[in-house]
Amino acid sequence: MAVSADPGARGPHVAGPPDGPHVVLWGDVTCPRCQQAVPRLRSAPVCLEWRHLVLRARGPRPRALAGALEAAAAQGAFWPVLDALVAQPGRTEDPDLWALAERLGLDVARFDTDRRGDAAAARIAADLRDGLAAGASGTPAILVPGRPLDHGVPDDAWVAALLAERG
């Protein structure tokens, strides 16, 4: 199934070398496979874009953590927070989030307001809408423009093949 995506389009949460291959990951911080996929892609020379795939069926926590990521992004700390949450999935309760925000030097009160705010909710909804349209049937859903959507956890061979494909 080929998925069309505008290769030039980039959402707000992008990291890695801008000239590296564009890899879009729809994920959920509570998903163990996403917790594996994120550090692998973070350490690869790819331009990684995170999109939320928050499903109601998984309960309230995925949405709460996606909100925390948006609140962190509002203070320029999206990636440190994502890295911390996937590295320590057992430490993602609210007090853990406040401690993390404090450790990163964020305005904790603002962080706590923003994560429940309309801007975060709108971003989460938009990401879900786009993920469903792209054909995501679970997490992680990984899109490399021009390729079929992939639901596996990328390993070294996956990254090597992607880089080789680019020449």
Partner 1 sequence: MAIIAPGTAVPEIVLKREDGSDFTQADLQGRTTVLVFYPFAFSGVCTDQLQVYEELLPELAEKDAVMYAVSTDASPSQTAFREKLGVTIEQLSDFEPKGTASRALGAYFEPGGMTNRALVVVAPDGTVAWSYEGANPGELPGPDKVREGVAAVAA
Give the binding range for partner 1 (CB under 8 A) out of 11-19, 52-60, 84-92, 113-121.
52-60
| DSSP conformational letter for 150 | B
Tell me, by CB under 8 A, how many residues bind partner 1: 17
Least Å distance between CB 134 and partner 1?
Answer: 7
The verdict on 135 binding partner 1 (CB under 8 A) reads: yes
Cis peptide before 7 (omega within 30 of 0): no
The verdict on 2 binding partner 1 (CB under 8 A) reads: no
Angle, to 10 degrees, between the axis of helix 60-73 and the axis of helix 78-87?
A: 140
* Nearest partner of 25 among 61, 57, 69, judged by Cα: 69
Q: Distance between alpha carbon 81 and the CA centroid of its chain, in Å?
A: 11
Site for partner 1 in 55-114 (CB under 8 A): 55-59
Q: Which residues bind partner 1 (CB under 8 A)?
A: 1, 55-59, 128, 132-139, 149, 151
